[in-house]
Structure 1
């Protein structure tokens, strides 16, 4: 029996492994929103910071920031493909994009620099609301942030705070405290809408296998969350974690597939092709094949089990066979 789900479906995959470990033999849980009560706080954090006077980044400004980051960090992996293989190794300082005194941030209808308020907003995106609340977003995904700035906090965060957490439809979300009010969220909402226990012992011991994947340029889920979740599980199982639970990060990947600003990145992940031999033959996946980029090219990508990354070995840079997971 197999389960495949992404986003809320990814959250449900983790809930199945945690609460119903005997139902499925193999689970794919992509872009998992399984810390849903805190995911909506991530939305609120980014929305409120973007609503500060002068801090909002229009799409032109987001693409300007993304272009600068990618230019600085694209070739860290020795391949110039317009994608940052491992954003954790990108040391680009966004302060370099701040406008000089008296400089106009827009020239000839194009963004040429960021205001100090915009720079701070980008830094807040990277930082997130705090390690104990939710991690931040990765460098290289800036051009995907518009939903965070404009809609997600209003469509998801505010209704949950008003209806479930504070039970007050007049509650002013601008008054939310990322200090004291997080405890209220954890008391009222987290037990009902989150499934974050890293102790999946029951699922492991009955032979279950779990694959999760996460795009580094996800517009919705901060990509460092699945890494944090995996690391918490590793603290329990140690090296034994890889025997039943593997995370595959997708450079330039979006939410449950391709990111619009990375059309050259394969957006279809052959996770079930990796899961079935693992469950039925005991062949653990050393990689997941990614295919079908939006630009229509034949580019394929080798997705590696975290913390490994794809390292170029020579040959065509657009073929997964030219890379090895190290």
Structure 2
């Protein structure tokens, strides 16, 4: 290539092709193509025309035939962040000028208009800060559960207000995806009308949505600001965390930095594992004519577990576990929680029988092939390498069990566990096992999980593994090979709460260990991938230990972790520890990078300076 043509290439680098098309003749002339008139020699390259924040963008932004601009709205500083004709009086106000753009990326999935599996494409809600103040960054978010949100593509609602506020406060482009569907956090869209798997939809939420979010947001930012983004970041919690892990595995060059919170890796295993507390109560209690565990009983035993184990760090009660794997509390041997009729000393309505105490041990240990559980003194279920009997890990002792073992009127209180039942039915390829409100043209769910024996439950795990690649588009996202992500120069911070009532942190530790082994061990892995375990943290934030105070438990937010990944990517400041504090300012504690552990050195037990991180 001649020097003249090379200079032309450099002048046009980074601008989307459709921005250059309107001035292609002038560009060619300036670079030696077309007319050779001396009047154009040495002319600067043409300046691309920026997109306007109005309906003209619907025709002007067309990076490919699958992309459609659905909605554009400009907000001035002080405007209510609302799309309603008459904004509510309590609507949040824009703290800076913003441009909202809603995109849809096809092709979508054809079918009957009434079927949840019929879609027009993947939706994106993008917030663009002021043209003159953009800091060159993109922050993308993959929501949890199954992502779906009708608000992301509608012209009447905002899908994620927090991203609008972040964009305004930080001069950062923000974006969120609906994963290719609009029917909320549950998964009816993943079954076709004839009852067969919607493999197209599985691929959308497994990998394509977050990939297209990267491509289209970068293209829109380049067109709006007439320059490419400097850095692009992604955040996701729970299933959103799984999605950003999938991004690192499948599209390692999409994001410069990733924050993965409470990652639900191995969805075909993790989701069925979440249902285990309910299954235990059905098989071990209901089948024997016994009532399900009341909240008072669950909380009393969980509190006893905390009292037995939360002094391990500093000799005083923290109110949450830090060394989760050292707690071997066994309620079947604790007279203080056992009913007097069982040889215990507890005469209250919150006392437990030995059958109930054993059921709690099962919930803490995790799913097994036959519903058995070993003595916690021998195996408390926290090894990152499971035995042949252990299908998945359980909840941590002292964690609030309301979300997985909740009961209302002596019946399971499912809440978000509805999507757990869906995965079991998909694994077994039989919709009768899922919830009764799972509507499909081929037949609705029949709550078959409630009468499922342990053997069939175990089969759902085995079949899920087999179908992960064949049907579910690798929704498990458990490929430990992150070397392409490393080689792209990208960085990732992962963190998970020890008291998370949903995600089992052992799954994260198992993945990290396998991934680190491929690059030469933890020290090599920490060059690009770091993991932190947050004591007391619940699922995607808050607190998870029973009875814990949200005010006095040290916490960390997604925004704080975002700041850490930006520092790591842009200034090479890799976090060794995370100094976190309680909202009321009374307690602080360093959080150690795995596999280091916090050690009490002496002094004020509520002060971070009294602790250090040491190799475990």
TM-score bracket, normalised by the shorter chain, equals: 0.7 to 0.9
Contact 1:313 1:324 in 2 (8 A): yes
Given candidates 19, 29, 32, the residue that maps to 2:260 is 29
Structure 1: runs of 5 or more not aligned: none
Partner of 2:321: 84
Query: What is the CA deviation profile of residues 112-163 of structure 1, one whole-angstrom value per residue up to 9, with x for unaligned ones?
Result: x42122122122122212537322222221xx1122123168502222333x
Is the CA contact 1:26–1:209 (under 8 Å) kept in the aligned structure 2? Answer: yes
CA contact (8 A) 1:105 1:114 kept: no
Pairwise CA distance, 1:79:
4.2
Aligned to 2:512: 230
- Give 1:19's match in structure 2, choosing from 250, 264, 267: 250
Instruction: Describe the superposition over 1:257-304 as per-residue Cα deviations: whole angstroms up to 9, x where unpaired.
Output: 1225322212324322322222123232111132344xx344233211
- Matched ranges for 1:42-121 at <5 A: 42-51=273-282, 52-53=284-285, 54=290, 56-80=292-316, 81-97=318-334, 98-99=338-339, 101-102=341-342, 107-109=347-349, 111=350, 113-121=351-359
1:188 alignment partner, one of 464, 467, 487? 467
TM-fit CA distance, 1:102: 4.7
Cα 1:108–1:18 shift into 2, 3 Å: same
1:170 paired with 2:458, answer no
1:146 to 2:402 alignment = yes
* Distance in 2 of aligned mates of 1:243 and 1:62: 42
What does residue 257 of structure 1 align with? 541
SS state at 1:75 partner? coil
Distance 1:121 1:69 in 2: 14
In the superposition, relative to structure 1, how do residues 102 and 249 fare at CA in structure 2: closer, same or farther (>3 Å)? closer
Q: Confirm whether residue 302 of structure 1 aligns to residue 590 of structure 2.
A: yes
Q: What is the CA deviation profile of residues 176-205 of structure 1, one whole-angstrom value per residue up to 9, with x for unaligned ones? A: 624444222122346432211111111111
Native 8 Å contact 1:44 1:153 kept in 2: no
Identify the residue that residue 313 of structure 1 maps to in structure 2: 601
**After the TM superposition, which of the residue ranges 282-291 and 200-209 deviates more from structure 2?**
282-291
Q: CA shift at 1:308, angstroms?
A: 1.5
| Paired residues of 1:26 and 1:208 also in contact (CA < 8 A) | yes
> After superposition, what is the alpha-carbon deviation per residue over 1:89-127, rounded to whole angstroms, capped at 9, x for unaligned?
223233223445456897444x2x421221221221222
1:21 shift after superposition: 0.7
- Partner-residue secondary structure (3-state), 1:278: helix
The secondary structure found in structure 2 opposite 1:68 is: helix
> 2:320·2:499 contact (CA, 8 Å) conserved in 1?
no
> Once superposed, what is the RMSD of the aligned Cα atoms?
2.4
Moved over 6 A (4+): none
SS of corresponding position for 2:456: coil
Deviates more, 1:125-134 or 1:9-18: 125-134
Worse-superposed segment, 179-188 or 22-31? 179-188
In 2, Cα distance between equivalents of 1:104 and 1:55: 20
Distance 2:580 2:304 in 1: 26
Q: Distance in 2 between matches of 1:282 and 1:107?
A: 59
Partner Cα separation in structure 1 for residue 311 and residue 421 of structure 2: 40
- Paired position in structure 2 for 1:274: 564
State the shift of 1:42 in Å.
0.6
Check the 8 A contact 1:10/1:30 in 2, yes or no: yes
Deviates more, 1:304-313 or 1:268-277: 268-277
The one of 400, 420, 424 aligned to 1:161: 424
CA 1:82 to 1:168, structure 2 compared with 1: closer, same or farther past 3 Å? closer
Among 497, 505, 519, the alignment partner of 1:215 is: 497
The C-alpha deviation readout for 1:49-71, integer Å capped at 9, x for no partner, is: 12231473322122212222222
Q: Per the alignment, do residues 183 and 2 of structure 1 end up closer, same or farther by CA in structure 2, a change over 3 Å counting?
A: same
Distance change in 2, residues 1:55/1:318 (3 Å)? farther
1 CA distance for matches of 2:539 and 2:613? 23
Higher relative contact order (CA 8 A, sep 6+): 1
Per-residue Cα deviation, 1:6-60 (whole angstroms, up to 9, x for no partner): 1122111211111111011111100001221111111222220122314733221
Q: Which has the larger radius of gyration?
A: 2
3-state SS of paired residue (2:391): coil
Give the conservation status (yes or no) of the 8 Å contact 2:339–2:346.
Answer: no
Aligned pair partner of 1:125 in 349, 359, 363: 363
Quote the Cα distance in structure 2 between the aligned partners of 1:11 and 1:27. 11
The count of corresponding residues between Structure 1 and Structure 2 is: 319
